[in-house]
Structure 1
Amino acid sequence: MNIVKKLLLTAAGIAASAQALAHADHSHSIGGVFANLMHQLTEPDHLAMIITGVVVAVVGYKTLKNKKSENSKDF
């Protein structure tokens, strides 16, 4: 692995670990599962990531489905 890849992986690791400190007080975890779920669905940053994940999954599924149908037409 060359030095550029190592530096990029290190920078990505540092950036990802900083996000772990986003909720220093952890007050949303006191209320249990329902409070945690409501926190995930009402905070804009969490909701944006959920929506992004769903969109990526749908687009990926449609892309793979189209590629499979194109490959089956070749035979």
Structure 2
Amino acid sequence: MCVENPMVLNVKWEEPRVIGECAGCFENIVEGESIIEFLDGQMIHYDKYCAMAFCLESGERKVAWE
């Protein structure tokens, strides 16, 4: 189907549906965003800042030794 004038289509914009909360930045995750989902059901945005925040929040800082 070819539409010459897209303004004649009856297309209404809808808010994206929230599917969860990011365990890194604690903001909403909405439909269409790239995410990483863990085995326990937690989700984070596919973003290095959210991944770093998640690791720092859920992990424990230690010093490596031999």
TM-score higher than 0.5: no
TM-score bracket for this pair, using the shorter chain length: under 0.3
State the TM-score, normalizing by the size of structure 1: 0.23
State the TM-score, normalizing by the size of structure 2: 0.25
Q: Which has the higher contact order (CA 8 A, sep 6+)?
A: 2
Structure with greater helix share of residues? 1
